[in-house]
Amino acid sequence: MTAPLRIALAGLGTVGAGVIRLLEANGELIAARAGRRLQVTAVCARERNKDRGIDLSPYAWEDDMTALAARDDVDAVVELVGGSDGPALTLARNALSGGKQLVTANKAMIAHHGMELAALAEERGVALKYEAAVAGGIPVIKGLGEGAAANRIERIYGILNGTCNYILSQMESTGADFGDVLKAAQELGYAEADPTFDIEGVDAAHKLSILAALAFGTALDFGAVETSGISRISAADIAQADALGHVIRLVGIADLQEEGGEPRLFQRVQPVLVAKGHPLAAVDGPTNAVVAEGNFVGRLMFEGRGAGDGPTASAVVADLIDIARGNVTAPFSLPVSALQAVAPADPGQRVNRAYIRFSVADRPGVLAEISAAMRDAGVSIESLIQQGHPDDGSGDPVLVAMVTHDGPESAISSAVELLDGSPSLIEPPLVMRLLA
């Protein structure tokens, strides 16, 4: 057996400690499969004396994590600190420029700086691996980059954030409203104390931009991801979706299409209505699922735990095994110079059905006003649902929901603009598309 792969580990939180536990538990099996041992030589974390339930005495400790990249006894650096910039990015740059292999679970860093880091890795002839950055333990990066490499991927979409999926699943099963379920999720550890990145779709958008670059051979463009979250979804929306034979899921969708003879990249993270017969409808709890549609292989679905120490550590170590085997490939399957810079698609040209929910004042004429706006914008209404009695004089807000026929998104945007500023609306309309 050849010399061990010597590893420096930056970050000893849930995932970092999980990596050490996994290497200790499955060390012999991993060595047999990799053809060499995976040996941690140095570590770094914010607090040196914190009890992590693991023995750190065999490893050298660095107080400055950027020093890990300069150590002579390190072949590969694992970055598990997080953050798109700051020390994590400095460590990544230093490791790659110094000829060290790099493994990261940092989806924000890859989404914002992946092109730069990939170019640096190619220049130095080392690996940049990030399986753990997207969907935790699900091998979707390897599945797209290797297993489906012979296919032209036509669309990629999925449930990319376990926190949001847990909240929506609990709203379905309990009938509770968003705020109550979020609080419970925080108490159980499924949601952060500040859940903004999760519930507003930013975390999922990071992952979607990475998947899009890998699937379509396009340059990373996180800034072009149209993003909205789940904080406005109410128990009433969940109930209406159920009555329509659907569930609500936060879904990231990307595809490459032509507009005026030129390729355009569509990227969106948004809550959508998913028909109960669709595979994504059955994905509940803190689970992730990614669907890729290839022109020869058809529909591929990757599903599993998207976070946690075990699944994420598994993905990190899988990348290390690849490196130990000498598997160094272009980080996004194509050389950086071959990744095509593609302008964002115009979402207004997309044709689909939509669910639109209005919270309106309880007074005469409101339905007529909404219907007129839909008519003037060219939106065809398939069904209309009204809760309460708009003419009973109670003054309480009334929920009005509708489902449209297939039509361009630009028409719905026009209808919403026509209603903007109307005293009849208590809040802006909530628009969710129906996943086709």
Tell me the domains of the chain and their CATH numbers.
5-133 (3.40.50.720), 140-305 (3.30.360.10), 348-433 (3.30.70.260)
- Higher pLDDT among residues 370 and 190, named by residue: 370
Of 21-30, 48-57, 102-111, 404-413, which gets the smallest average pLDDT?
48-57
Whether 297 has a pLDDT exceeding 80, the answer reads yes
- Is 80 exceeded by the pLDDT of residue 387? no
Enter the pTM of the model. Answer: 0.94
- Please, which pLDDT band fits residue 393 given cuts at 50, 70 and 90? low
Q: How confident is the model over 338-357, as a mean pLDDT?
A: 96
Active site (catalytic) residues = 207
pLDDT at 395: 57
| Residue scoring higher pLDDT (197 or 397) | 197
Mind listing the pLDDT tens digit for each residue in 215-248?
999 999 999 999 999 999 999 999 999 999 999 9
Query: What does the mean pLDDT of the chain come to?
Result: 94
Segment 370-391 mean pLDDT: 85
Section 59-69 average pLDDT: 93
Percent of the chain, pLDDT > 70? 97
Please tell me which residue, 77 or 386, carries the higher pLDDT value: 77
**Per-residue pLDDT at 260 exceeds 90:** no
391 pLDDT exceeds 80?
Answer: no
pLDDT of 47: 86
Mean local confidence (pLDDT), 139-167: 95
pLDDT band per the 50, 70, 90 thresholds, residue 388: low
pLDDT at 1 over 70: no
Q: Is the pLDDT confidence value at 389 over 90?
A: no
The 3-state secondary structure of the chain, one letter per residue: CCCCEEEEEECCCHHHHHHHHHHHHCHHHHHHHHCCCEEEEEEECCCCCCCCCCCCCCCEECCCHHHHHHCCCCCEEEECCCCCCHHHHHHHHHHHHCCCEEEECCHHHHHHHHHHHHHHHHHHCCCEECHHHCCCCCCHHHHHHHHCCCCCEEEEEEECCHHHHHHHHHHHHHCCCHHHHHHHHHHHCCCCCCCHHHHCCHHHHHHHHHHHHHHHCECCCHHHCEECCCCCCCHHHHHHHHHCCEEEEEEEEEEEEEECCEEEEEEEEEEEEEECCCHHHHCCCCEEEEEEEECCCEEEEEEEECCCHHHHHHHHHHHHHHHHCCCCCCCECECHHHCECCEECCHHHCEECEEEEEEECCCCCHHHHHHHHHHHHCCCEEEEEEECCCCCCCCCCEEEEEEECCEEHHHHHHHHHHHCCCCCECCCCEEEEECC
Residue in 345, 328, 329 with CA at minimum distance from that of residue 256: 345
Rg (CA), the chain: 24
If you average pLDDT over residues 63-83, what whole number do you get?
94
What pLDDT sits at residue 88? Answer: 95
> What is the pLDDT at residue 192?
87
In this predicted structure, the answer to whether residue 390 has a pLDDT above a threshold of 50 is no
Span 267-292, mean pLDDT? Answer: 96
Q: What is the mean pLDDT of residues 42-59?
A: 90
Note the pLDDT of residue 2.
Answer: 86
